[in-house]
Structure 1
Amino acid sequence: MSRSVAEVMVETLITAGAKRCWGIVGDTINHFTDAIRRSEMRWVHVRHEEAGGLAAGAEAYMTGELAVCAGTCGPGSLHFVNGIFESHRNGAPVVLIASDVARTEAGLSFPQAVDQRKIYEQCSVFCEYVSHPDQARRIVALAAQAALNKGGVAVVIVNGDMFTERTEDALDWAVHRPAPVLRPSDRELEVLASALNEADKVTIYAGIGAREAHDPVIALAKVLAAPVVHTSRAKEFIEPDNPFNVGMTGILGNKAGVDAIDRADIMLCLGTDFAWTQFYPDGKHVIQIDREATHLGRRAPIRLGLVGDIGPTLEALLPSLSGDRDPTHLQQALKQWEEDREGYEREANEPDPALIHPQAVARMLDSLAAEDAILTADGGSPQVWLLRHVAARGQRRFLISLLHGTMANAYPQAMGAAAAYPGRQVIAMCGDGGMSMLMGDLLTLVQEKLPVKLLIFNNGSLGFVEMEQRVEGLLDSYTELQNPDFAALARTCGLSGWRAENADDLESAMTAWLAAEGPALLDVKVNRMELVMPPHVKPSQVASTAMFGIRAMLDGRTKEVVALLRDNFLR
């Protein structure tokens, strides 16, 4: 029996595990969306395709299953680009159906015609046209298979008139999901064990590639008496129930993590592709294990590089390691980690009830949020407050734009998480700049009944950019934001809304906000004069900040300089 290309594509996607398709209907995808209407797949109608791309990526990242989005020719598909880049870099298995103009108009500079392949090849693991109706099931199955097995976005390009074509292709093209075990050879493991047994001080640096290896990482740390530093993306997997955890390295990290790596004889990198080379020790101290051979030695010179999945590799390695290590290195790191956490707590405390520090907001959220809450955070300072002040508890999930570094990711990604997990608390930690960039999809939360809780860190500025400018000794420029009353705006859109301007009102407002039925927004007026302090402050940064202070005072902004010093250096 013949079926339309649209019907075959939708059926293949459902068979591959897709439950939702995110997008905006129109012209070249109307027959595709009509096929969805007649299927068990749910169409999620967003107000901006970028939000749909971010939401689909979050759904796929959180579940590990296929998510779908679809765009019309030209502008519709182009609006997805930033969301697709973010989702692809997160390793989220997403299929994008990018439609094109009718075949009769292809190559003739027809309005809205775009070379989709050139656009999406750089942010996909698969990018191919359906060139004949009998290819529909095969191409879509290959796209889904690539997305699920390679971890990333697969793009299927379809001319609008192709969707109505009929096909009798009865071959059973299916999606295969093998689960191989990958580890180094026995000889390579012997070399690794010898190096670790000879080292006095080992520090483990665990990344997202160790997400399935929590227990083997802990066992390794115990045998080696090694502190465990983790990347930002690995926080939710490595931090819980980990007595060897000493936090993070990097500009968003803490002193214990940085010092533990600097002191080590060996920095053992497990499934991490951390990009900032200035935080790596000399290459003779670095050993790296990663599933991708192309990642070995990519960020810093290394002494030894091995290919393998972290869990199976460590399980094979552990019997060859000797124990009875001097615990001094570990004890130093744990003591500094305790001091780091005490410092974070001091930062959050403020006796002036008229001033709300963003750290205090994040710490209160940590104490009031559900044990299995899913939290997203906007790029910039909200991601720092999440990473430093919200604890991973084993069941909590986190999603931050750490590889693509986009603005306005938090609440679109929260939409995808809420759609995938309707019974769980989903919280988006938003900057006021990020919130106002894609504000139209507040209406999606209401229309699609997605009970996301939106927390806005409202400092009236592009705060992270402002900090960057000041640390470089510049006067902050063009960072001012003239914001609406976000709580009132939320109520106008159909959400529940609260606003907190005083520290004494914060807890009651946050409690009511979290308990609200359906989507809700809490607008918190936080201190603008707040720096994200790095683990080590360099003399050059002090000098540059001082230069900002001089320039600001000469510009008549003495009050701002006083506030900056009071709120960051004199507390």
Structure 2
Amino acid sequence: MARTVARVIVDALSELGVRQVFGVVGDALNPLTDAIRTTEGLEWVGCRHEEAAAFAASAQSQLSGTLGVCMGTVGPGSVHLLNGLYDAAKSHTPVLAIAGQVPLTELGTDYFQEVDNDALFSDVAVFRATITSPGQLPQMLETAVRHALGRKGVAVLTVPGDLGERELNADRPARFSLNAPLSRPEESAVRKAAALLDRSERVTLLVGRGARGAREDVLTLADRLAAPMVLTLKAKEGFEGDTNPFQVGQTGLIGNPAAASALQDADTLLLLGTDFPYRDWYPEGKTVIQ
């Protein structure tokens, strides 16, 4: 049986494991919100403002490690998503934003509330595209989701208001590759880093959120090096507490003297899973491995 553009998108999100979609209803989103309403296991979470919807999707993604989804209707509705999407982009977490748009036949005519979403989201999104034909699905949705998950960023898919109810001529289920990409330094770089650490007398670790998945390895390394561990704000969730005897707190504006001392007293600083941006709090004259 033929399905509509909205149904293809919503079914794919449901099969992907998405359980909540955050947003504010609006005419351009009507086919999508109606499809969500009739989909068991997928909940529309109405928000007072699209910015809050995007922040909610970002927070859910950061806490769960899954794809967050938010929606904003045509014009101001989509524009309001920006602030929350920047939070997702800066936090390197996957979020799919579905933006409403003016009717397809009115694109480029300076129609009421028309906004060039592809241009608007160019700085915040790793992928952005406007669906202009039902035949572009499900491939375009697959591409958007792959970019969001694979590059841990924001993907924006724009759907014109009159396209959601159109049916696909050739329907097939969406196919997603959910294998997380792996990356690691070259072996020669790892050996060089290990040699530097072996020659160091006092090593301090600066650990960020990106190392959460390797917590036991990080603790083992800290024990092997007898190294104090300074945490970034977002690393507190995974590394702070009584089960980590190496952590000495945070550095920066909301840091403490113990962390500052650990950084200053080291001859080698090892950064794991962080791109801590506040350079004024880095010690000078140290060997640094990131």
Same fold flag (TM > 0.5): yes
The aligned residue for residue 142 of structure 2 is 141
Secondary structure in 2 matching 1:211: helix
Q: 1:193-240 deviations in whole A, cap 9, x for unaligned?
A: 211111111101111111112111111111111111111110111223
Corresponding residue of 2:154: 153
Corresponding residue number in structure 2 for 1:269: 271
For residues 227-269 of structure 1, what are the alpha-carbon distances to aligned partners after superposition, in whole Å with 9 as ceiling and x for unaligned?
1111111011122311111111111111111111111110111
The question of whether the paired residues in 2 share the 8 Å contact of 1:74 and 1:100 is answered with: yes
Matches within 5 A, 1:25-104: 25-40=25-40, 41-104=42-105
% identity of equivalent residues: 41
Q: For residue 283 of structure 1, report the CA deviation from its aligned partner.
A: 5.7
Structure 2 unaligned segments of length 5 or more: list them: none
Check conservation: 1:97, 1:155, Cα contact below 8 A.
yes
Q: How does 1:317-332 map to 2 (within 5 A)?
A: none
Question: 1:67 and 1:202 mapped to 2: Cα distance?
Answer: 38
- Closer, same or farther: CA 37–180 of 1 in aligned 2, 3 Å: closer
Amino acid at match of 1:6: A
The CA distance in 2 between the partners of 1:117 and 1:230, in whole Å, is 37
Q: Which residue of 1 aligns with 2:183?
A: 182
> Over aligned residues, Cα RMSD in angstroms?
1.5
The CA deviation at 1:182 is: 3.1
* Distance change (3 Å), C-alpha of 1:88 and 1:32: same
Task: Tell me the residue number matched to 2:133.
Answer: 132
Structure 1 alignment gaps of length 5 or more: 289-571
Structure label with greater radius of gyration: 1
Other structure's SS at 2:234 match: coil
Structure 2 equivalent of residue 17 of structure 1: 17
CA contact (8 A) 1:16 1:144 kept: no
Is the CA contact 1:248–1:257 (under 8 Å) kept in the aligned structure 2? yes
Shift of 1:7: 0.7
Equivalent in the alignment of 1:420: none
Which letter maps to 1:277? R
Residues 368-398 of structure 1, C-alpha deviations (whole Å, 9 max, x = no match): xxxxxxxxxxxxxxxxxxxxxxxxxxxxxxx
Per-residue deviation, 1:180? 4.5
The answer as to whether partners of 2:67 and 2:96 remain within 8 angstroms in 1 is: yes
Structure 2 vs 1, CA of residues 63 and 111 (structure 1 numbering), >3 Å: closer, same or farther?
same
Matched-pair contact (CA < 8 Å) for 1:95–1:144: yes
CA contact 1:100–1:158 (8 Å) conserved in 2 = yes
SS in 2 for 1:179: coil
The answer as to whether partners of 2:97 and 2:154 remain within 8 angstroms in 1 is: yes
Report deviation, 1:284: 4.6
Q: Which amino acid aligns with 1:25?
A: V
2:31 corresponds to which letter in structure 1?
A: H
Whole-angstrom CA distance in 2 between matches of 1:91 and 1:185: 23
Q: Distance in 2 between the 1:186 and 1:67 partners?
A: 35
TM-superposed CA distance for 1:190, in Å, is: 2.1
Question: TM-score, normalized by length of structure 1?
Answer: 0.49
- Cα deviations across residues 119-170 of structure 1 (Å, max 9, x unaligned)? 1121122111112101121111221222222212211011111111110333
Q: C-alpha separation between the residues in 2 aligned to 1:174 and 1:244? A: 44
| 1:489 corresponds to | none
Whole-Å separation in 1 of the counterparts to 2:278 and 2:128: 30
Question: Does structure 2 retain, via aligned residues, the 8 Å contact 1:13–1:140?
Answer: no
Secondary structure at 2:233 match in 1? coil
2:98–2:157 CA contact under 8 A, matched in 1: yes
- Structure scoring higher RCO (CA < 8 A, sep ≥ 6) equals 2
Contact 2:2 2:171 in 1 (8 A): no
| Residues 66, 182 of structure 1: alpha-carbon distance in 2 compared, 3 angstrom cutoff | closer
- Quickly say closer, same or farther: Cα 1:283–1:273, change in 2 above 3 A: farther
Residue 87 of structure 1: how far off its partner (Å):
2.3
What SS class does the counterpart of residue 163 from structure 1 fall into? coil
Q: Counterpart amino acid of 2:52?
A: A
Matched, 1:4 2:4: yes
Alpha-carbon distance change, 181 to 28 in structure 1, aligned in 2, over 3 angstroms: closer
Q: Aligned equivalents of 2:285 and 2:100: distance in 1?
A: 47
Distance, in Å, in 2 between the alignment partners of 1:186 and 1:51 is: 44
Q: Evaluate the alpha carbon distance shift between residue 94 and residue 186 of structure 1 in structure 2; reply closer, same or farther with a 3 A threshold.
A: closer
1:70 counterpart letter in structure 2: M
Residues 13 and 141 in structure 1, CA contact (< 8 A), matched pair in contact too: no
- Could you tell me which residue of structure 2 aligns to residue 467 of structure 1? none
Compared with structure 1, are the counterparts of its residues 67 and 185 closer, same or farther at alpha carbon in structure 2 (3 Å cutoff)?
A: closer
Retained in 1: the 8 A contact 2:207–2:230? yes
Match of 1:255 in 2: 257
